Amino acid sequence: MQTHAKVVIIGGGVVGCSILFHLAKHGWKDVVLLERSELASGSSWHAAGQIHTISSDPNISRLQGYTINLYKELEELSGQSVGHHPTGGFYLASSPERLDYLKQERSKARYMGLDQEFISLQEVAEMHPLIDPSKYLGALWDPIDGYIDPSSVTHAYAKSARQYGAQYHRNTPVIETNPRADGSWDVVTPNGTINAEMIVNAAGLWAREVGHLAGIDLPVQPMEHHYLITETIPEIEAHGKELPCGIDYESNLYFRQEQQGLLLGTYEPSATPWKVEGTPLDFGHELLPPDLDRIADRLKLASERIPALGRAGIKNVVNGPFTFGPDGNPMIGPVPGMKNYWAAVGVMAGFCQAGGVGLCLAEWMIEGEPSIDVWAMDIARFGEFATHEYGTIKSAENYTRRFILTYPNEELPAGRRQKTTALYDRLVARGAVMGTGFGLEHVLWFADKPENAHETPTFRRSNAFEYVADEVRAVRTGVGAVEIANFANHEFKGPGAGAFLDRMLAGRLPKVGRLNLTPMLTPKGKLYGDLTVARLDEDTFYVFGSGAAQEMHRRWFDMHMPDNGVSYRNRSDELHGIAISGPRSRELLSRITRDDVSAQGLRFRDIRRTAVGGVPVILARISFSGELGFEIYCAPQYQVKLCEQIEDAGRDLELKLYGARTLLSLRLEKGWGVWTLDFRPDFTAVESGLDAFVAFDKEADFIGKQAVLTQRDKGPEKKLVTMVMGTDDIDVTHDEAIFHNGECVGYVTSGGFAHHVQKSVALGYVATALAKDGEAFEIELLGEMKPAKIVAEPLYDSTGERMRS
């Protein structure tokens, strides 16, 4: 065995083998995979092998399409059959809500390059005569769905990787991973030690144990899962053609043909986490004892929908474990806080996803960034809050909801109150409906009283609509207050802080006591942050950004941090606060501070340390509401006092507390995008319009400078636009297809109802040639085409006068 490698991958399941293949294919030959036993000795050997494209995230769906289309190439390269049966597959809905969901999925497919279409129930019955079509309302068809042989796929990846020059060693368990001072890793096995520039934890069922070797706790959890295979079914024999695969959402079932019988798997309503305390090192080639009682009600439902099942004998029952992450999506990428340690864990649908995971990881390692936004799979979407207990609770929730519909306005119940602010009880007592982001509870909206503080999950406008309208009215005409604990605060100090941030941020650094908006770019000029940078004194800066992205940004800052001259801390949990906004917000503020907060005393974009409500704060004159407004940050122990003072002082001004939904509505009428939706690494600064904040002429060679200059000179192919839509009881959320003269020309990134201007608004990217004021489009919303028109100017206060007043 060699003693040095550029990359060592730990784990020879389908995920590790795909990473090996993609690294080698993309040019890195000095890569080696270590497998403790035979290849596919974890979940991979006992998978059902069904493959499909639909996922909760469009980019993951796109990558699932990529994975499936890779199987032909793998067979050719490796000379090994992967048992690919591209039977096509349908997604069956038996409730109107599920049918709506499928319509939404089809809309996404239109721009993801997938070929999904609705087929009639008659066609379902013709293709799959065992199904009782009367149980369903609709079926979406995807021609590339089907099934493969899991073990053969894993071997085909490994053999293909070898064709490209990579190596793998079986029967080579990794027993230690020791970091060296130069950032490399010594990977210790009984057969020798390899020093690796980078390592990848792709240990599937043992991801936790391999993580522990490097001192990492990964919040993944194996879950027990059943599928069964029937004896020969005469109707299948008689049909003569192979049956398509299927997913029946309401009964939580997936099924496909297996020889002359059926294979049927199900996600039961009560999950069984497996080996919470850790996966035994000697587990591998055995299955778990089946427990058919656990899935009996699912089997009953199945035989109502596929009656031949009820008559068929069961030939084989498989109960095997596989690993889930807290939101059901893979967790990949460089592990924050670690050097040269990569993860590819929690991949729960490896035969649909491993190709995409391998591709993205290889691009990320070799080129420094993946070619598409992988936020939905990025391990940095979880932080310290995601303990292994949290991982178990959320993974179990996710397992039971595998095929259950989650509405765009729905907040899932498990693992709640993991992180709360000092104001939590107070806000709940005021009628707050809470959501959660990066583990932290935050207010979505306020009901008139706590008894009404719940929201009906729906694709359409919910019972929150009128409450949010009231909150918007208060901010636009009087004064409102919103807790601002769910933003990230990054603190940089030291003589090198200015120079460091000048390189990290594409915008201009502010003078002392001022703040600026700035994008942060990748070397390829993609957006990596939409940030506000504030300078408290010559060598102290705060960077405010998306709370969800705080760990991703911490990783980015750490990665580029010089050895000395800058000290950096993520202070998001230490600086909470309250923002007040609206035409009467200055009046309110002046009552609780001795500072001069007049238009001259505290100018738009000023920031300072002072006292408000008698507590020490950082006070900034800025607001995401598009109104006159102030953000007041304080340490959590002062938040209750600050809130009391604001509420007391605001009583006769009819101060109204508001939540995130209102903020999101207010920003729509200003045409402002938000991070993770409109602004993310799928887009460049020039495409998004954030180039307005790029200091093209600044001296510092900021990351992405060359790329953004080229993009500016060349002009973007697509642009972010704001559209007003013709709808009545429904608004876009994100990912709806945008049509122009019948052709799909882009997609929606965010939207909703702008209550003050009384318009339904969509933000989305369309071809630059079409990004003109007044240009008309159609947006596909739950299967219906709705008219939409570009508005070039903000719908509210287009000159920004109110904000600057």
Q: Pull the structure tokens for residue 135.
A: 């149980």
User: Which phi and psi (to 5°) does residue 546 adopt?
Assistant: -65, 130
Among 23, 31, 48, 745, binds ligand FAD (CB under 6 A): 48
DSSP 28-53: --SEEEE-SSSSS-SSGGG---EE--
- Least Å distance between CB 357 and ligand FAD? 9
Pick the closer one to ligand FAD by CB: 343 or 432.
343
Three-state secondary structure readout of 608-668: EEEEECCEEEEEECCCCCCCCEEEEEECHHHHHHHHHHHHHHHHHHCCEECCHHHHHHHHH
List binders of ligand FAD among 316-355 (CB under 6 A). 318, 320-322, 347-352
Q: Name the helix (H) or strand (E) containing 77.
A: helix 58-78
Among 20, 92, 187, 210, binds ligand FAD (CB under 6 A): 210
Of residues 202 and 724, the one with the C-beta less far from ligand FAD: 202
Residue 175 or 512 with smaller CB distance to ligand FAD: 175
CB of 376 to ligand FAD, least distance (A): 16
Applying CB under 6 A, among 65, 86, 204, 582 the residue interacting with ligand FAD is 204
- Within 160-189, the residues that bind ligand FAD by CB under 6 A are 173-174
Alpha carbons 748 and 731: distance in angstroms, whole number: 11
Burial class of residue 630, CB neighbours in 10 A (0-12, 13-18, 19+): buried
Task: Report the residue number, 256 or 667, with the smaller CB distance to ligand FAD.
Answer: 256
The tokens for 368 are 């420094």
What gap in Å lies between CA 602 and CA 630, rounded to an integer? 10
For strand 515-521 and strand 527-537, is the pairing parallel, antiparallel, or unpaired? antiparallel
Q: What is the amino acid identity at position 73?
A: E
Shortest CB 71 distance to ligand FAD, Å: 12
Closer by beta carbon to ligand FAD, 154 or else 684: 154
Which amino acid, residue 772? K
The closest alpha carbon to 409, from 454, 375, 458, belongs to: 458
Binding-site size for ligand FAD (CB under 6 A) equals 42
Task: Give the x/- contact pattern for ligand FAD in 3-42, rule: CB under 6 A.
Answer: -------xxxxxxx-----------------xxxx--xxx
Q: Which range touches ligand FAD (CB under 6 A), out of 202-210, 414-422, 528-536, 735-743?
A: 202-210
Smallest gap from Cβ 451 to ligand FAD, in A, equals 43
Could you tell me the smallest distance in angstroms from the CB atom of residue 42 to ligand FAD?
A: 2
Binding to ligand FAD in span 117-146, by CB under 6 A: none
Query: Among 127, 203, 552, 664, which residue interacts with ligand FAD (rule: CB under 6 A)?
Result: 203
Radius of gyration over alpha carbons of the chain, in Å?
27
Selection from 312, 314, 322, 262 nearest residue 288 by Cα: 322
Q: Which is nearer to ligand FAD, 172 or 462 (CB)?
A: 172
Indicate whether 399 belongs to the interface with ligand FAD (CB under 6 A): no
Q: How many whole angstroms separate alpha carbon 753 and alpha carbon 252?
A: 33
- What token pair was written down for 504? 């990290």
Measured from the CB atom, the residue of 34 and 131 that comes closer to ligand FAD is: 34
Among the listed residues 47, 362, 618, 660, the single contact to ligand FAD using CB under 6 A: 47
CA dist 748 and 744 (Å) reads 11
- Give yes or no for a contact between 124 and 248, defined as CB atoms under 8 angstroms apart: no
Give the tokens for residue 121: 């129930």
Q: Which is nearer to ligand FAD, 13 or 65 (CB)?
A: 13
Site for ligand FAD in 621-650 (CB under 6 A): none
Contact letters for ligand FAD, residues 218-247 (x by CB under 6 A): -------x-x--------------------
Q: Smallest distance from the beta carbon of 302 to ligand FAD, in angstroms?
A: 16
Chain positions contacting ligand FAD, by CB under 6 A: 10-16, 34-37, 40-44, 46-50, 173-174, 202-206, 210, 225, 227, 284, 318, 320-322, 347-352
